[in-house]
Every structure is written in structure tokens, then in C-alpha cells.
Amino acid sequence: MIFLRFEDIKSGWCRITFGTDEIEAELSVSYLTDFISDLINRTAILLEGSDYEVIKCYYEPGQYILSLNRMMDQISISIAETQSSGSLNIYNGTDQLKKFGRVLLKELERVKNEKSITQYNEEWKYKFPEDTIERLRKAVKA
């Protein structure tokens, strides 16, 4: 089972933890991309039938590349950390795709309950992704 947590959303940065019972990876991502919306959107796209999606997000001095693979009703998430010196795979996790979608929705609800939408928008530098969340909610129910 994959778990997910968004923490310390402030000043255009966010700490995101992906984990399973065996492994955990903590990413500190910047506002250069809207990683939170990208993850919601790409998960919805997988639920709608895509087999493979990629998300790139940045930190200083490198980037993370998340590979999301759909295999029937499963999702496999691999995270690579890249810098000028090379690339290192830091996380692999697998779960039921709809279950991961529900975990993501639950975590977004927690974030929304802890921060006002205005506060989220100011601190993350992007609007709270209500439309994208609704798309994911529909995809999970389908």
C-alpha cells in the first residue's frame, strides 16, 4: 500500500512523502511546477485509461522524475532523483490504482482542512486544484 503526505506548503515549496511498509521517499519540491495539481491530474488520466504518465518537479540543484505506470487495476510509482552527476532511483511502490486515488483525495482533504484555500494559494503560489480534484473524484468512482 502506498501512502502519501503533503507537508510544509509554504513560500512556494512543499515537502511530499511517498511510502510503503518497506520504503519511504521524501521530496522537497518547488513552485517551478504545480506538482500537486500534476499528480492529481496524472492519476485521473491513468484511471481514465492511460498506461503511463510522467511528472517532473524541481528542487535545487536537481529534479525528480515520477513515472506512473498502470498495469490493469494497479499503479506502480517510481521516483528518480536527477542531478548533473547522474540519476538515482529513490522509490518504487505499487498499489491498487483506485485505492491510490482515494489516498490522494483523502490527503488533499486533510490539506484543505488545515489551510484555507486562500492560504494554500498564497503559500504554494498556485490555486487550490478544485477542478482537478473533482476530475479525480469522478475517475475514482467510475
Could you report the per-residue pLDDT of 13-46, keeping only the tens digit for each? 999 999 998 899 999 999 899 999 999 999 999 9
Q: Is 102 helix (H, G, I), strand (E, B) or coil?
A: helix
Q: Please name each of the domains of the chain with its CATH number.
A: 1-99 (3.30.2450.20)
Give residue 103's Cα distance to chain centre: 11
Which pLDDT score, from 0 to 100, does residue 84 have?
82
Question: Residue 12 above 90 pLDDT?
Answer: no
Neighbours of 92 (CB within 10 A): 15
Q: Residue 127: which pLDDT band, with cuts at 50, 70 and 90?
A: very high
C-alpha cell recorded at residue 124 = 504554494
Q: Taking the model in full, what pTM does it have?
A: 0.94
Which pLDDT score, from 0 to 100, does residue 110 have?
96
